[in-house]
Structure 1
Amino acid sequence: MILPGIGLRLAEAGKGRLVAKLFYFVFYAAIGSLAPFFNVYLHGAGLSGQQIGLLSGLLPLVALVASPFWGALADRWQIHRQVLALCAFVSGGISLLFLPFSGFWALVGLVVLLSFFRTPIPAIVDASVMDLVKQTGSSYGRQRLWGSLGFVLLSFGLGRLVVLTDLAPIFWLHGLLLGIGCGLLGLLLPIERRENPTGLWEGLGVLIGRPGFGAFLVALVLAGIALSGYINFLSLHMMALGGSEAQVGLAWALAAILEIPMMAFGSRWMGRFSQRRLILTGFVGFAAVWLVMGLATTPTALLLAIPFSGASYAIFWMAAVGYTAAVAPPGMGATAQALTGAAQAGLGWAIGSVLAGSVWDVYGGEGVYLVSAAVMLAAAGVFAWGSRTERE
């Protein structure tokens, strides 16, 4: 017999997991509607590889400030739902402004605004979901896999529907899914309020002082440099090898397809290994896949390699989120996730976008992916060296 109070909490937890799944699905569906064709859109607008790299680099550069700002604000005042809804609604509206405006400097302004409001969303949701699954005994991967599914469906579907002469649908879908879908779901996500959260500066001091955490942040910066080249120039590399619009969409869908089973079932066997080992496995897996992608000479060869990058991402990201949650002081989950996101998707991504754009202009996709592989191996080395104290 289940006591009424316990039964009510279980029902609320079940509702919370459902909302989390829906939020991940809608958010990453929004990303899947824009990311595969955004740089193709910029290229069609007449921007050079270096300009595309600079513009792509603005997103994470703003994220370097925006993620910690919104995460700390949500933690300090315990207003996670309100911050989620605000950021989703505003970023959705900004997406629609890409339709009437064009030109490099107009795009610069829109990219800065979009990054400021959209970037903190995943970190706040991840922190909230980690708290939720700890209470219910579920797993983060079982919730996050719905984001991969949404990304696959939208990126693959749009790849078969859009034409390069009219990319307006990608901005409409991105804006509506974010502004309406995520805006409403953000208000429904159950987030536990803490009456006495750890002070910001005290918590940051504790977090930075954790053994191995500094090396983790440096490794994430290097990983961001490598990942930015992979992501920002995937579509252009596919088309340079003779791929079609449909193959561009398929490439992005394949990049996430193995994330789904890995996140659904991986927690069972990944629990046998330390988060440190899993993070290193993800780093090395990325490097191996990108080496193959850099040497690929046909769209088919590229498509065959891409899914294994998704598997590497699933291993790395589940372990990285779990590692961050484990070292975060009480009440600072969103801040900690935002800080790690700022290192990887902020500083690292900004540097990597500019670097990859310059490499693309001279050496093309082969150079971009070989450089990304080398930098990711450097990330593995830094993390292995810096986190060695955890084993001792």
Structure 2
Amino acid sequence: MNKKPIFALKLATLVIALGYSLILPVMPFYMENLGAGGRELGWLTAVYALAQTVCAPFWGALSDRIGRKPIISIGIIGYSISLFLLGLASSFWTLFIARSLSGILSSATSVASLAYVGDSSSEEERSKNMSQLGASMSVGVMMGPLLGGILAGYSLAFPFFTGAGISFIAFLLILTLLPESIEHSGQTEKRKPFDFSDLKSIIFGSAGMVLILFFVVHFCQTGLQGITGLYVVDKFGFSTKQVGVIWMALAGILIVVQGFLTGPLAKKIGEKRLIL
């Protein structure tokens, strides 16, 4: 996998994480301005995750048919539009619709980017490239809250518009730097239609355990992300900048682990032991 495609994929992954994390320190204050509270913030968090979960298989299957690059591009430009709509939201329900759209389209880029790495990487390089994508996501998660907290000092909507602009730049770079991967990956054979026996074998096979692990980890992580901002604002009276610093510190640890430890440890002790 040459440097240009992996750079473009890192950028796309970073943008998705940046757009998501930009609003973490802003949302408690944004919700307050709209007359909403913790319950409504929980709905926003849930609908984003639900949209990603439901739509990810669809985007993955579509990327098998028409290619990875178109799906990544659709996800990036759509995500830019959804962030712009979030900045324009004047009620909870417009915010809810925009957040739903954001979850639907962000899953397109995430799924197709991972599939692209699988297409283009050798077995020896796959873990390293995957961990680099994870590190790019962590960089976005680290930069986003701090940047969002600073920009929110000018306007609570400013972080959303900034994320939309960054996403549009990433869309242009994806179009110019990222070649299609499927035609070079040996995946030109016709795929059989998906049926429920395939789903059963996935759930009750070894992949099922991996899916359960993903569910547990993201269930806990989403709950933490959804409530932390409200908690520190209510209990300690934190500003948007201070909330951003909390998320930046947490993401910094993720960067060290995913960017510098995962690849070497996978080679040294094996992926199964590393998961454990």
TM class by smaller structure:
0.7 to 0.9
The CA deviation string for residues 163-196 of structure 1, in whole angstroms up to 9 with x for no partner, is 3x83111110121222x13322333323421211
Partner of 1:153: 143
- Higher mean C-alpha deviation, range 207-216 or range 63-72: 207-216
Following superposition, the deviation at residue 85 of structure 1 comes to 0.9
Confirm or deny that 1:17 pairs with 2:6: yes
Q: Do the aligned partners of 1:13 and 1:132 also contact (CA within 8 Å) in 2? A: no
Partner of 1:254: 249
Equivalents in 1 of 2:57, 2:133: separation in Å? 24
For residues 263-278 of structure 1, what are the structure 2 equivalents within 5 Å? 263-266=258-261, 267-278=263-274
Q: Residue 228 of structure 1: SS of its match in structure 2?
A: helix
Q: Residue 86 of structure 2: SS of its match in structure 1?
A: coil
Equivalents in 2 of 1:261, 1:97: separation in Å? 34
Equivalents in 2 of 1:129, 1:192: separation in Å? 9
Partner of 2:163: 174
| Aligned equivalent of 1:88, options 48, 59, 76 | 76
Q: Residue 35 of structure 1: SS of its match in structure 2?
A: coil
Equivalents in 2 of 1:145, 1:201: separation in Å? 32
Confirm or deny that 1:231 pairs with 2:225: yes
Following superposition, the deviation at residue 72 of structure 1 comes to 0.9
Q: Do the aligned partners of 1:13 and 1:136 also contact (CA within 8 Å) in 2? A: no
Q: Do the aligned partners of 1:34 and 1:174 also contact (CA within 8 Å) in 2? A: no
Larger radius of gyration: 1
Partner of 1:221: 215
TM-score (norm 1): 0.61
Equivalents in 2 of 1:99, 1:31: separation in Å? 13
Following superposition, the deviation at residue 135 of structure 1 comes to 6.8
In the alignment, residue 160 of structure 2 is paired with which amino acid?
Answer: F
Equivalents in 1 of 2:151, 2:95: separation in Å? 25
The total of aligned residue pairs comes to: 266
Q: Give the RMSD, CA atoms, in angstroms.
A: 2.7
Equivalents in 2 of 1:204, 1:20: separation in Å? 33
Partner of 1:105: 93
Partner of 1:35: 24
Equivalents in 1 of 2:147, 2:96: separation in Å? 28
The CA deviation string for residues 243-289 of structure 1, in whole angstroms up to 9 with x for no partner, is 33222111111111022222232111233334344334xxxxxxxxx
Confirm or deny that 1:189 pairs with 2:189: no
Partner of 1:123: 111
In the alignment, residue 251 of structure 1 is paired with which amino acid?
Answer: I
For residues 1-392 of structure 1, what are the structure 2 equivalents within 5 Å? 13-75=2-64, 77-134=65-122, 137=125, 139-140=128-129, 141-163=131-153, 166-178=155-167, 180-187=168-175, 188-193=177-182, 194-196=187-189, 198-201=191-194, 205=198, 208=202, 211-242=205-236, 243-266=238-261, 267-280=263-276
The CA deviation string for residues 327-355 of structure 1, in whole angstroms up to 9 with x for no partner, is xxxxxxxxxxxxxxxxxxxxxxxxxxxxx
Equivalents in 1 of 2:216, 2:74: separation in Å? 31
Equivalents in 2 of 1:208, 1:111: separation in Å? 30
The CA deviation string for residues 352-383 of structure 1, in whole angstroms up to 9 with x for no partner, is xxxxxxxxxxxxxxxxxxxxxxxxxxxxxxxx
Q: Which structure 2 residue ranges, 5 or more long, are not aligned? A: none
Q: Residue 205 of structure 2: SS of its match in structure 1?
A: coil
TM-score (norm 2): 0.83
Distance 1:209 1:90, change over 3 A: closer
In the alignment, residue 215 of structure 2 is paired with which amino acid?
Answer: V
Q: Do the aligned partners of 2:5 and 2:179 also contact (CA within 8 Å) in 1? A: yes
Q: Do the aligned partners of 1:39 and 1:232 also contact (CA within 8 Å) in 2? A: no
Following superposition, the deviation at residue 136 of structure 1 comes to 7.8
